[in-house]
C-alpha cells in the first residue's frame, strides 16, 4: 500500500532543506506519496514565495496560514491547524526539518496522534536554552522515530540523550544538496553594482532576537558594521524583524529598502530587502567575509570556503568551527573588529568539507525512509 508522508515547512531555512528531499523521493512515488504542508510561519513574498520559485518547489498541497505571533500563539496555531489536516489526511509519517516553531509544533501533533515523526537535521545542540530553537530541537528529537543527522557529533548528542542507535542515521547535510545544485544558477544581486569593486565586500545577516531586540546591542553592532565598512563595503540582507528594530532606532532609510541597496546612515553598509536564494548564494560565494547570526549560513560558508564571523556566543554547529571557516565572535564590537582585521591581513587556512556534505544526503534519506516505511503498518 502506498504510504503518505506529510512534509512540513514553515520558515525560510526549511525550504532549501525540503526541496532536495522531495526531489529524491520522486523515484519512490509509486510507494510514497508526499504532501507538502506550508504552515505559513513565514508568509512574505521575499521570505517564502520567492524561495519556493527559485528552489523549484511545487505549490504546497496545504497552506495553514498561521502567520506571526508569540511563541505560544504561533506554535499553538500551527498545532491546531496541522491536527485538523492530519485527522483528515491520515498520513503514515510526518517529516519535519530544522528547528523552527513549525518543526516542533507538527512533531508534537504527530506524536500525539501516533503518527511517526521523521526529523531531518536532528541532534544539533548549542546547550543554550535561552535560544528558542534549542528547545525546539530537544523536543522534536525526543518525539522522533527516525532521526537523520548532519554530523557524527549529532549522533553522539542523541545517544547521550537516550535515543536508540537504531533510530539514528548519519546522512550528511541536505541544505548542502541544495547549495550544490543551485550554485551554478546563482546570480549577482543588484546591490553589487553600487560597490567600487564587485569582488571585495562583506555580507551581513542579522535577525536573532538576542541581537536585534535590545536597542543597545543592536546599536553597538551597527557601530561595528559602520567601522568595518570604512575598510570593506558591506551588503546587509535584512530580515523583517531587523527592519522593524532599525526603524525603532530612527533609521528611516529602511522605509525605502531597494534591491539595489539603501545606505545605512552615511556608512558604506548597503541594506537590501531579504535576498532570494540564488542572489544570496552568489553573495556568500563571492564575499571576502560573512558576518551572521544564522545557523545555516555557518554551514554554507564552510562549504563555499568563505570566512564566517558568527555574532553569537555559541553554536549548535561546532563542526563548522573545527573543520570549516566559522569563528564565534559574540557581539562585542572590539572582538568583531579584531577578528575581521586578522582575516583581512592573514586570510584563512583552507577549511575541510565535513564528511558527507557532498550533495547526496537527500538520496540517502529517501532510500532509508522508503525501507523504513515498508516496515510500518499502513493507516
What are 262's strand-pairing partners?
A: 271
Q: Which stretch binds ligand UD1 (CB under 6 A): 11-19, 148-156, 158-166, 227-235?
A: 11-19
Site for ligand UD1 contains 119 (CB under 6 A): no
Q: Which stretch binds ligand UD1 (CB under 6 A): 9-17, 157-165, 261-269, 308-316?
A: 9-17
Site for ligand UD1 contains 130 (CB under 6 A): no
The nearest distance, CB 93 to ligand UD1, in angstroms, is 22
Site for ligand UD1 contains 68 (CB under 6 A): yes
Burial status of residue 30 (CB atoms within 10 A of its CB: 0-12, 13-18, 19 or more)? exposed
The nearest distance, CB 46 to ligand UD1, in angstroms, is 8
Among 41, 54, 149, 178, binds ligand UD1 (CB under 6 A): 41
Rounded Cα distance between 270 and 287, Å, is 14
The nearest distance, CB 234 to ligand UD1, in angstroms, is 20
The closest alpha carbon to 168, from 195, 145, 199, 147, belongs to: 147
Q: Considering beta carbons, is residue 239 or 356 the nearer one to ligand UD1?
A: 239
- Range 136-165, binding ligand UD1 (CB under 6 A): none
In contact, 317 and 133? CB cutoff 8 Å? no
Query: Which stretches of the chain are assigned E, i.e. beta strand?
Result: 3-9, 32-38, 62-63, 93-97, 117-122, 146-149, 168-170, 202-205, 234-237, 262-263, 269-272, 289-292, 308-310, 326-328
Rounded Cα distance between 72 and 65, Å, is 16
Site for ligand UD1 contains 12 (CB under 6 A): yes
Among 17, 38, 42, 169, binds ligand UD1 (CB under 6 A): 42
Q: Which stretch binds ligand UD1 (CB under 6 A): 10-18, 51-59, 174-182, 310-318?
A: 10-18
For cell 563571492, what's the residue?
Answer: 286
Helices vs. strands in the chain: H and E counts, helices first: 15, 14
Length of the chain: 379
Q: Considering beta carbons, is residue 140 or 144 the nearer one to ligand UD1?
A: 140
- Range 228-267, binding ligand UD1 (CB under 6 A): 239-241
User: Reduced to 3 states, what is the DSSP secondary structure of residue 290?
Assistant: strand
Q: Considering beta carbons, is residue 241 or 286 the nearer one to ligand UD1?
A: 241
Burial status of residue 261 (CB atoms within 10 A of its CB: 0-12, 13-18, 19 or more)? buried
In contact, 112 and 87? CB cutoff 8 Å? no
What mask, x for binding ligand UD1 by CB under 6 A, covers residues 345 to 364? Answer: --------------------
Q: Considering beta carbons, is residue 241 or 251 the nearer one to ligand UD1?
A: 241
Among 54, 101, 238, 302, binds ligand UD1 (CB under 6 A): 101
Site for ligand UD1 contains 11 (CB under 6 A): yes
- Range 164-223, binding ligand UD1 (CB under 6 A): 207
Q: Considering beta carbons, is residue 207 or 339 the nearer one to ligand UD1?
A: 207
Site for ligand UD1 contains 134 (CB under 6 A): no
Among 7, 19, 37, 100, binds ligand UD1 (CB under 6 A): 100
Q: For Cα atoms 293, 295, 224, give the angle at the middle one, nearest 5 degrees.
A: 15
How many residues form the binding site for ligand UD1 (CB under 6 A)?
18
Q: Which three cell numbers stand for residue 356?
A: 558527507
**One-character DSSP codes across 137-188:** HHHHHHH-SEEEESSHHHHHHHHHTT--GGGEEE---HHHHHHHHHGGG---
The nearest distance, CB 255 to ligand UD1, in angstroms, is 15
- Could you list the active site residues? 207
Among 13, 123, 261, 276, binds ligand UD1 (CB under 6 A): 13
Q: Considering beta carbons, is residue 24 or 109 the nearer one to ligand UD1?
A: 109
User: Reduced to 3 states, what is the DSSP secondary structure of residue 207?
Assistant: coil
Where does this chain bind ligand UD1 (CB under 6 A)? 11-13, 41-44, 47, 68, 74, 100-101, 132-133, 207, 239-241
Amino acid at each position: 500500500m502506498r504510504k503518505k508522508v506529510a512534509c512540513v515547512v514553515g520558515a525560510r531555512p526549511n525550504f532549501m532543506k525540503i526541496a532536495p528531499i522531495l526531489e529524491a523521493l520522486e523515484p519512490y512515488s509509486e510507494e510514497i506519496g508526499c504532501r507538502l504542508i506550508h504552515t505559513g510561519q513565514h508568509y512574505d513574498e521575499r521570505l517564502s514565495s520567492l524561495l519556493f520559485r527559485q528552489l523549484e518547489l511545487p505549490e504546497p498541497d496545504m497552506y495553514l496560514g498561521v502567520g506571526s505571533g508569540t511563541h505560544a500563539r504561533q506554535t499553538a496555531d500551527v498545532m491546531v491547524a496541522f491536527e485538523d489536516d492530519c485527522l483528515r489526511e491520515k498520513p503514515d509519517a510526518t517529516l519535519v526539518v530544522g528547528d523552527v516553531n513549525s518543526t516542533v509544533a507538527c512533531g508534537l501533533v504527530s506524536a500525539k496522534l501516533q503518527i511517526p515523526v521523521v526529523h531531518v537535521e536532528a541532534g544539533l545542540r548549542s546547550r543554550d536554552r535561552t535560544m528558542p530553537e534549542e528547545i525546539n530541537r530537544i523536543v522534536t528529537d525526543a518525539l522522533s522515530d527516525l532521526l537523520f543527522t548532519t554530523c557524527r557529533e549529532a549522533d553522539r548528542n542523541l545517544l547521550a540523550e537516550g535515543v536508540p542507535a537504531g533510530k539514528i542515521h548519519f546522512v550528511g547535510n541536505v541544505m548542502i544538496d541544495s547549495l550544490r545544485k543551485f550554485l551554478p544558477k546563482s546570480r549577482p544581486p543588484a546591490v553589487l553594482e553600487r560597490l567600487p569593486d564587485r569582488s571585495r565586500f562583506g555580507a551581513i545577516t542579522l535577525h536573532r532576537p538576542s541581537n536585534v531586540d535590545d536597542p543597545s546591542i543592536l546599536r553597538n553592532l551597527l557601530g561595528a558594521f559602520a567601522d568595518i565598512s570604512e575598510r570593506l563595503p558591506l551588503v546587509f540582507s535584512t530580515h523583517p524583524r531587523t527592519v522593524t528594530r532599525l526603524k525603532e532606532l530612527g533609521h528611516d532609510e529602511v522605509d525605502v529598502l531597494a534591491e539595489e541597496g539603501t545606505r545605512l546612515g552615511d556608512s558604506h553598509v548597503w541594506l537590501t530587502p531579504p535576498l532570494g536564494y540564488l542572489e544570496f548564494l552568489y553573495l556568500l560565494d563571492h564575499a571576502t567575509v560573512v558576518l551572521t547570526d544564522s545557523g545555516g549560513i555557518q554551514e554554507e560558508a564552510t562549504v563555499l570556503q568563505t570566512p564566517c564571523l558568527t555574532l553569537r556566543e555559541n553554536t549548535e554547529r561546532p563542526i563548522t568551527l573545527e573543520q570549516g571557516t566559522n569563528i564565534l565572535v559574540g557581539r562585542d564590537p572590539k572582538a568583531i573588529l579584531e577578528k575581521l582585521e586578522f582575516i583581512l591581513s592573514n586570510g584563512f587556512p583552507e577549511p575541510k568539507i565535513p564528511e558527507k556534505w557532498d550533495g547526496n544526503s537527500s538520496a540517502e534519506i529517501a532510500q532509508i525512509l522508503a525501507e523504513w516505511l515498508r516496515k510500518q503498518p499502513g493507516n
